């Protein structure tokens, strides 16, 4: 190899022009690194030729690219190859290949300046300094892919500097003046995962500046996904503490420093590298090399900008100063509003539609299952307060009349107003005044099953996300323990929002029925036990316009004082639930058996609380209902953090306690009060998630043990198909871990590898 043809990276390895490599030991080290580079190239190019990596190019890697990966792993060939492979996988997975910085929406994303490389290096380490300004990020406008593309293409340009390869990178996550709406938990996790195990830059430290109080729990959870080595490099600091990590002269003015952010000049220096031909999937190979001085804007421009920025007191007024070389990039047009690409949520249908629910086809095959109810489902029965019998249909006429005959009761019997059990006229009383089955044993008890918190963390590490998905599929493939005969009766079919989400007969809520036809006792709702509380919940579908009267009849008869709604009326342009309550204060909706009046509405950032008064038209009696609507569940997937849902759970339980106390002596059932009605659209996905979290949290508080799988299986034995998607099942696990961290039950944990990512940077 001729010395005249050596690139700067080859010189770095071979030692030409370097004063550092003059001793025999240094010559040996130089030779070792040279051999490592050759070995890396041979093995990496073999992977490329055999198609074992994710690169779209079959051409060989260059020496330059090999050095980048080797330096990130201290010339350990095996670890560098693992980093290279993970890097290619991540690029392909996140859509970070072959992007064009001159077209929307990437062009406008770059122009926001939310991510930039500062012109000054850290004095003590020589590391380049990257800055992400959270206040400039709007998750509603920028997709994960676009934001990551803008971040990666700038990192690619910065990594052309041999100084950056040698000394690494410091990442500043500035949360100054940011709001909860600016925070994107999943994006933050992707950035951290990329930097720590899928990008050839040596991540020295992560500095989170002026983190607000609400960031406490998400930060603790984010730290779970990194190894101890990197975890010790992640800091939350105030503005004054930031100067202890980076000298003020290397910090921008808005972070208490002395430097001016000149993002447009930085972009103008990036353009030659960003538009260069790609050697690998990642555009790392053929960029022009940018020395440290090339990363600095012209000194003569500092004076005017510094005066302007000091006048403004923040960088906001100077963000859009454009140098001529970057003008076309940052001013070429307005940003578009790209569509999000995350997986869809649990319910995918209109309320008016009969098409199947997303991800429910396999479950539907079990709807024709016939057989007796499992023991777990019948544990609540007793001789004096018998649940509705389950009818085996083998060898039995299954006509509508035969089903009706099999379920006839004593003519003097009425449905108990609290728990759906039959009670004769001799013992009937006011609907909310009878001690009934709420005092019977619950399916969820303080048994010995489950994990302690330490065991739970180890369980998550062992299973990882894919393992939990496998567990969920095992649960999903288990047939429901019962029949759906009442739901399938001709007179009830139109009362089901979805034709494939039906009620198990043994746990369904039975409405009082005074009609001669005896066909008016059905509603798509099931009793679900809570922790040490029989029938703690009623899981139900979002009411249809024609089933809203039945919904309010159930509320009155079951003495319900709290309703939890985990969907919006319309999501993604589709009706998910009828408007069954008056939205405006002072308005009243009239139904055949009752009126419902809006007394008060309170808006929080994540939910809406409405106080309603329900009045029974027959008796003239009334009571107050607390209606909670959780509004922060995303249109796709599950929440990125459980903080909002955990706070929502607390508020619901507080309202349940206060409303139960208001009932006074007319409630003589379980101390936790009447059933809480919970619904989403189908009444199985988000509804099941809510019930699972409540049960698991109460058990954790009582015994220190967690059993998510057992809880879900028991809930599904009463409300079939609860927890509708694997991501909801995973969310329950991570939410419980987040709860344990929030409440101080465990100081920290290590979930390295949960997402299947690679090792940290050195």
Residue 62 confidence class, pLDDT cut points 50, 70, 90: confident
> Residues 132, 33: one domain?
no
In angstroms, the CA 401 to CA 182 distance is 59
Q: For position 657, what pLDDT does the model report?
A: 94
Find residue 595's DSSP bridge partners. 590, 615
> Could you tell me if 180 and 297 lie in one domain?
yes
Structurally, how many domains does the chain consist of?
Answer: 3
Which segment of 344-358, 544-558, 668-682 scores lowest on mean pLDDT?
Answer: 344-358
Answer whether residue 407 shows pLDDT above 60.
no
Quick check: 35 and 77 in contact, CB under 8 A? no
In a domain, 594, yes or no: yes
Phi-psi region of 17 (alpha: psi -120 to 50; beta: other; left: phi over 0): left
- Give residue-wise pLDDT tens across range 221-248: 655 555 555 566 788 888 888 988 998 8
Least reliable range by pLDDT among 41-50, 290-299, 650-659, 709-718: 290-299
User: pLDDT tens, 551-590?
Assistant: 999 999 999 999 999 999 999 889 999 999 999 999 999 9
Report the candidate in 202, 109, 186 with the shortest Cα–Cα distance to residue 342: 186
Residues 197 and 62 in one domain: no
Q: Is residue 230 part of a domain?
A: yes
Position 394 pLDDT exceeds 90: no
**251: which residues sit within 8 A by CB, 6+ positions away?**
118, 242, 243, 257, 258, 259
Contact (Cβ atoms closer than 8 angstroms) between residue 578 and residue 569:
yes
Which comes out higher in pLDDT, residue 195 or 725?
725
Q: Are residues 261 and 127 in the same domain?
A: yes
Give the pLDDT confidence score for residue 426 in this predicted structure.
35
Assess whether pLDDT exceeds 90 at residue 329: no
The b/e string for 132-155 (b: 16+ C-beta within 10 A; e otherwise) is: bbbebbebebbbbbbbbbbbbbbb
Looking at per-residue pLDDT, the higher value among 624 and 67 belongs to 624
Predicted pLDDT of residue 22: 53
Q: Are residues 676 and 725 in the same domain?
A: yes
Model pLDDT, residue 197: 79
Which residues make beta-bridge pairs with 237?
209
pLDDT tens string 513-524? 766 666 789 999
The answer as to whether 88 is a domain residue is: no
Instruction: Tell me what pLDDT residue 578 has.
Output: 95
Evaluate whether residue 479 is within a structural domain. Answer: yes
Q: For the segment 419-472, what is each residue's pLDDT rounded down to a tens digit?
A: 433 333 333 344 443 335 555 666 777 676 789 999 999 999 999 999 999 999
Structure confidence at residue 214 (pLDDT): 60
pLDDT on residue 665: 82
- Name the nearest CA neighbour of 68 among 235, 286, 256: 286
Mean pLDDT value across the chain: 75
pLDDT category at 656 given cuts 50, 70, 90 is very high
Which CA distances in Å does 638 have to 123, 127, 230, 347, 725? 43, 37, 27, 12, 10
Q: Is the pLDDT of residue 80 over 90?
A: no
For residue 299, with 0-12 CB atoms within 10 Å meaning exposed, 13-18 middle and 19 or more buried, which class applies? exposed
Pair (563, 606) in one structural domain = yes
Residue 285 lies in a domain: yes
Among 641, 635, 636, 501, smallest CA distance to 568 is for 635
Count CA atoms closer than 13 A to 267's CA, side-chain side.
32
Where does a domain end: 55, 72, 89? 72
Asked if residue 32 has pLDDT above 50, the reply is yes
Domain of residue 145 covers 98-330
Strands 128-133 and 115-117, how do they pair?
A: antiparallel
Domain of 611, CATH number, reads 3.90.190.10
Using a cut of 0.85, tell me whether the model's pTM lies above it. no
Residue 270 has pLDDT above 80, yes or no: no
Nearest to residue 738, comparing CAs of 727, 725, 728, 749? 749
Q: How confident is the model at residue 343 (pLDDT cuts 50, 70, 90)?
A: very low
pLDDT of residue 502: 95
Q: Are strands 128-133 and 169-174 parallel, antiparallel or unpaired?
A: parallel
What average pLDDT score do residues 667-685 get? Answer: 93
Q: Which of 55-69, 176-190, 523-537, 649-663 has the lowest mean pLDDT?
A: 55-69
750 domain-assigned: no
Please choose, from the candidates 405, 378, 381, 398, the residue with its C-alpha nearest in 3D space to the C-alpha of residue 490: 398
Are 402 and 272 in the same domain? Answer: no
Both structure tokens of 593? 């058996």
> Which residues carry out catalysis?
680
Map tokens 């936790």 to a residue.
672
Assess whether pLDDT exceeds 50 at residue 297: no
**Given a cut of 80, is residue 219 above it in pLDDT?**
no
- 285 shares its domain with 390: no
Same-domain status, 51 and 176 = no
Together in a domain, 516 and 630? yes
Count of C-beta atoms within a 10 Å radius of residue 230: 23
Helix (H) or strand (E) holding 109: helix 106-111
| CATH value at residue 212 | 3.40.525.10
CA distances from 404 to 256, 478, 502, 519, 525 (A): 77, 28, 18, 9, 19
Q: Are residues 128 and 34 in the same domain?
A: no
- Asked if 440 and 382 count as a contact pair (C-beta separation under 8 A), the reply is yes
Q: Kindly indicate the confidence band of residue 51, based on its pLDDT and cuts at 50, 70 and 90.
A: low
Of the candidates 165, 167, 189, 22, the residue with the CA atom closest to the CA atom of residue 90: 189
Do 524 and 595 sit in the same domain of this protein?
A: yes
Beta strands 414-415 and 422-423, pairing class: antiparallel
Domain membership of residue 511 (yes or no) is: yes
In a domain, 135, yes or no: yes
The share of the chain scoring above pLDDT 90, in percent, equals 36
């Amino acid at each position: 190899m001729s010395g005249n043809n050596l690139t700067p990276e080859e010189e770095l390895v071979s030692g030409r022009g370097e004063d550092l490599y003059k001793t025999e030991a240094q010559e040996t080290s130089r030779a070792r690194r040279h051999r490592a580079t050759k070995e890396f190239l041979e093995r990496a190019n073999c992977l490329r030729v055999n198609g074992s990596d994710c690169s779209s190019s079959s051409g060989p890697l260059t020496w330059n690219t090999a050095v980048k990966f080797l330096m990130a792993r201290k010339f350990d060939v095996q670890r560098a190859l693992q980093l290279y492979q993970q890097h290619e996988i991540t690029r392909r997975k996140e859509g970070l290949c072959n992007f064009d910085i001159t077209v929307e929406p990437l062009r406008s994303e770059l122009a926001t300046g939310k991510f930039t490389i500062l012109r000054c290096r850290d004095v003590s380490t020589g590391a380049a300094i990257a800055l992400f300004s959270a206040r400039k990020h709007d998750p509603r406008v920028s997709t994960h892919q676009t934001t990551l593309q803008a971040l990666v293409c700038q990192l690619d340009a910065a990594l052309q500097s041999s100084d950056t390869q040698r000394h690494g990178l410091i990442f500043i996550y500035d949360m100054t003046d940011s709001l909860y709406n600016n925070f994107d938990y999943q994006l933050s996790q992707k950035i951290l995962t990329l930097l720590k195990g899928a990008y050839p830059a040596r991540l020295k430290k992560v500095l989170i500046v002026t983190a607000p109080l609400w960031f406490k729990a998400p930060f603790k959870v984010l730290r779970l996904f990194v190894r101890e080595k990197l975890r010790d490099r992640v800091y939350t600091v105030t503005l004054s503490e930031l100067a202890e990590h980076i000298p003020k002269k290397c910090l921008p003015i808005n972070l208490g420093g002395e430097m001016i952010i000149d993002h447009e000049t930085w972009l103008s220096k990036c353009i030659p590298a960003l538009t260069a031909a790609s050697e690998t999937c990642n555009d790392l190979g053929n960029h022009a090399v940018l020395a440290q001085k090339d990363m600095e804007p012209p000194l003569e421009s500092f004076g005017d900008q510094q005066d302007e920025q000091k006048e403004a007191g923040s960088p906001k007024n100077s963000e859009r100063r454009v140098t001529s070389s970057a003008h076309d990039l940052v001013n070429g047009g307005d940003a578009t509003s790209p569509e999000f690409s995350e997986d869809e949520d649990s319910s995918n249908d209109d309320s008016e539609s009969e098409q199947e629910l997303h991800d429910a086809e396999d479950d539907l095959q079990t709807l024709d299952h016939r057989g007796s109810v499992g023991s777990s489902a019948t544990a609540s029965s007793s001789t004096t307060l018998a649940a509705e019998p389950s009818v085996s249909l083998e060898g039995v006429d299954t006509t509508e009349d035969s089903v009706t005959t099999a379920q006839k009761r004593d003519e003097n019997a009425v449905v108990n107003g609290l728990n759906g059990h039959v009670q004769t006229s001799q013992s009937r009383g006011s609907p909310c005044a009878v001690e009934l089955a709420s005092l019977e044993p619950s399916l969820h008890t303080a048994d010995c099953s489950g994990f302690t918190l330490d065991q739970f963390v180890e369980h998550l590490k062992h299973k990882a996300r894919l393992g939990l998905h496998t567990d969920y599929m095992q649960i999903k493939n288990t047939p429901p323990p019962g029949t759906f005969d009442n739901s399938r009766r001709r007179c009830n079919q139109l009362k089901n929002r979805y034709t494939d989400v039906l009620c198990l007969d043994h746990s369904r809520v039975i409405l009082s029925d005074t009609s001669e036809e005896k066909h008016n006792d059905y509603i798509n709702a099931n009793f679900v036990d809570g922790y040490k509380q029989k029938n703690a919940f009623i899981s139900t579908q979002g009411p249809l316009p024609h089933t809203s009267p039945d919904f309010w009849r159930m509320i009155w008869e079951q003495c319900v004082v709290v309703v939890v709604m985990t969907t919006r009326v319309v999501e993604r342009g589709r009706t998910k639930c009828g408007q069954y309550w008056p939205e405006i204060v002072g308005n009243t909706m009239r139904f055949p058996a009752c009126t419902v009046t809006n007394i008060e509405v309170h808006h929080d950032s994540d939910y809406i609380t409405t106080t309603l008064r329900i009045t029974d038209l027959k008796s003239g009696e009334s009571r107050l209902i607390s209606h909670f609507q959780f509004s922060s569940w995303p249109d796709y997937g599950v929440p990125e953090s459980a903080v909002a849902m955990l706070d929502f759970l607390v508020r619901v339980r507080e309202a349940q306690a206060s409303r139960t106390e208001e009932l006074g002596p007319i409630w003589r059932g379980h101390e936790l009060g009447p059933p809480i009605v919970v619904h989403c659209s189908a009444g199985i996905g988000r509804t099941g998630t809510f019930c699972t979290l409540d049960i698991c949290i109460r058990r954790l508080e009582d015994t220190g043990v967690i059993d998510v799988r057992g809880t879900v299986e028991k809930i599904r034995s009463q409300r079939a198909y609860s927890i509708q998607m694997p991501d909801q099942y995973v969310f329950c696990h991570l939410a419980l871990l987040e709860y344990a961290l929030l409440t101080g039950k465990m100081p920290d944990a290590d979930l390295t590898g949960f997402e299947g990512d690679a090792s940290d940077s050195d």
